[in-house]
Amino acid sequence: MMGAEITLGHYLALSGLLFLVGLAGVLLRRSLLIVMMSLELLLNAANLALVAAARFQGIPDPQVAVFFVITVAAAEVAVGLAILVAIFRLKKTTSAEDFATLKF
Amino acid sequence: MTAVAGDLTSRNPRKITRMEQFFFWSLAAGLLLAATAAVTLRNPVSNAVALVAALVFQAALFVTLEATFLAAVQVIVYAGAVMVLFLFVIMLLDVKAEARRPIPWSKVLAVLAGGTAVVVGVPRLVAAFPAAREPLHWSAKAAPFGARELGTLLFSSYAPLFLTTGVLLLVATIGVVVLCRRDPES
């Protein structure tokens, strides 16, 4: 593998592994802050796949998609952190296990 | 772009391939290492700093894919604005390092299953598409687009989406202000 030329497959595999790391964070961590950071990793894995596709196919459209993903991610982080701050004011914690009021 | 391609063609293609490999493998290793640190570390500030490192590594990978504009956006928006937001919230909430707890085996199992799916699935997926196995001959073809083409696309065929993004950001801003406002009565 090491001696082979870098192909689109290499970038897609890297993107898959990055997605996996982020998924592990979303599923296994309790702190909502860390969960949100892991969500960013998930979005970044998708971005990497898109940019690689744009380069190897020679078309600019996936890069435009990445542009939108980054914008939406920024909005998502802002709203998510605002919700987190509001919840922290009520409960004095950021652990996902303590937010179970809708569970029954 | 064309000037860069001209430079590349005049150089030894095997040397370029070797450099390409070096950059891809070292940046990929750095990205995965930083991402793992961002997910596993216990102190939230360390997580945030590791995530900044991961985002910068990804920006460097964008450069190897000749997406220089997106690399700049990645550093400015993600590593700059978004991470500062994270650090501010960490500071304001005064989050303590997370205590250890019994390992949730069902979730570990889920992650392992997902991992197997990726490790088994992605090579098959790649094998199914012949185009995914073709290396890029950097010396022969440079990316036929740059920031100019991206901007033209954004303001022509993607203009409705672009305007919607503006509305989205406005709504998000108003939402954040409303969410974080303290009730004046209480």
pLDDT attached to residue B139 = 44
DSSP B11-61: S-HHHHHHHHHHHHHHHHHHHHHHHHHHHH-SSHHHHHHHHHHHHHHHHHH
Provide the shortest C-alpha distance from residue B3 to chain A (in Å): 18
ipTM score: 0.90
A62 — contact with chain B (CB < 8 Å)? no
Which comes out higher in pLDDT, residue A20 or B135?
A20
Q: Which of A71-75, A95-99, B8-12, B172-176 has the lowest mean pLDDT?
A: B8-12
A101 lies in some domain? no
Q: Measured between CB atoms, which of B38, B73, B172 is closest to A75?
A: B172
Domain tally for chain A? 1
CATH of the domain at A17: 1.10.287.3510
Q: Which of A14-18, B128-132, B158-162, B173-177 has the lowest mean pLDDT?
A: B128-132
A43 lies in some domain? yes
**Chain A interface, mutation test: which of B24, B77, B78, B124, most A Cβ atoms within 10 Å?**
B78
Q: Quick check: B82 and A83 CB within 8 A?
A: no
A23 lies in some domain? yes
Helix (H, G, I), strand (E, B) or coil at A65: helix
Instruction: Please say if the pLDDT value at position B138 is more than 60.
Output: no
Report the DSSP beta bridge partners of residue A31: A95
Domain boundaries, chain B: 2-145
Q: Quick check: B134 and A7 CB within 8 A?
A: yes
pLDDT attached to residue A1 = 44
Question: Is CATH 1.10.3720.10 the classification given to domain B2-145?
Answer: no
Q: Which of B10-19, B103-112, B149-158 has the lowest mean pLDDT?
A: B10-19
A100 lies in some domain? no
% of chain B at pLDDT higher than 70: 83
pLDDT attached to residue A80 = 93
Q: Measured between CB atoms, which of A37, A54, A88 is closest to B38?
A: A37
At B183, the pLDDT band (50, 70, 90 cuts) reads confident
Q: Quick check: B165 and A79 CB within 8 A?
A: no
Q: Quick check: B180 and A34 CB within 8 A?
A: no
Place of tokens 């897609």: A12
Q: Quick check: A74 and B82 CB within 8 A?
A: yes
For the stretch B92-133, pLDDT in tens is 887 776 667 777 788 888 888 888 888 888 778 777 777 767
Instruction: Please say if the pLDDT value at position A28 is more than 60.
Output: yes
- Chain A nearest-CA residue for B144: A58
pLDDT attached to residue B2 = 46
For the stretch A34-64, pLDDT in tens is 999 999 999 999 999 999 988 888 888 999 9
At B31, the pLDDT band (50, 70, 90 cuts) reads very high
Sequence-distant contacts of A69-72: CB under 8 A, at least 24 apart: A69/A43, A70/B70, A70/B73, A70/B74, A70/B77, A70/B78, A71/B165, A71/B168, A71/B169, A72/B165, A72/B168
The residue segments making up the domain with residue A90 are 9-94
